[in-house]
Structure formats: structure tokens, C-alpha cells
Amino acid sequence: MAIGQQSSDVVSEQEEYATLYFYRKPEFYSGRFDCWIGETRLIKNFQRSSYFWLNLPAGTYEIKTNGRPAWTIYEKKYELKVEAGQVYYIEAVLDYDFLGTALLLQVRSQADFDLLKSKLSFDERAIRVLD
């Protein structure tokens, strides 16, 4: 079950959940990228200069990014193991090549996220809890 529309300040204190922060730096290319965990779309059109967070139970998850137009934006898949009570920071980074673009996900430190947070806006459209 996926639940959305919680405040940007409400992050789970429950020990059985991990918290993931996804963010994109300010950049020229806007692109239309979606972010998924399994079959659940976390966010449609993940905007540059934005972030969102997600609480999910401990486990191993397949995370993928894709976008439109499909012929110029490549789908990328990642496997991420998360532990309950831990916080993860995931930067979405553009990767360009001659024929297309992809959105790569890279685990970062809290310090990296904290340096950028004041330049990012919270995206309320994203799912907040995945059970």
C-alpha cells in the first residue's frame, strides 16, 4: 500500500522503517524522469532542484528510473538493500551520451544532502510510505 501527501517535516520515527531521501541538484536539463520501486511509481517527472523522502520496511528493493521520450531517455535499474532505522541519501544524476540520457542514482552522505537542501524544494507529489 502506498500513502502520500504528508508534510516534508514528517519522517518516520518507527524503527521498522528505513528513510530514503531522493534529490536532484539544480541543473540546466529538466528532462522528464520517473522514479519507481518495483511496480510502484514514487514520483512522476522528478524535477531538478527538488527532493522527496520515502519510508519503507527493511529489505532489498529494485529501484528504476525511466522517462519520456523513451527513445532518448534510457531506463536504469538498481538494487538497494536498506536496514530499519537507517537514513539513506540518493542523488539522481544525469548521465549523457551521444544518443540519449539516463538518470543515475548514487548513494551520498547526509553532509552532501545538507549542503544542497537549501537550494532544493520539497516535492509533495511523491509517495511517502511504502508498505
**Is 1 part of any domain?**
no
- Give residue 102's domain range: 14-130
The tally of domains found in the chain comes to 1
- Predicted pLDDT of residue 30: 65
With beta carbons less than 8 A apart as the criterion, state whether 113 and 23 touch: yes
CATH number for 97: 2.60.40
Per residue in 109-130, pLDDT (tens digit) is 999 999 999 999 999 999 898 8
Domain assignment present for residue 20? The answer is yes
Which run of H or of E encompasses 112?
Answer: helix 110-117
pTM of the model: 0.85
**Residue 123: inside a domain:** yes
Q: Is residue 7 part of a domain?
A: no
In this structure, is residue 103 part of a structural domain?
A: yes
Whether 9 maps to a domain, the answer reads no
How many residues would you count in the chain? 131
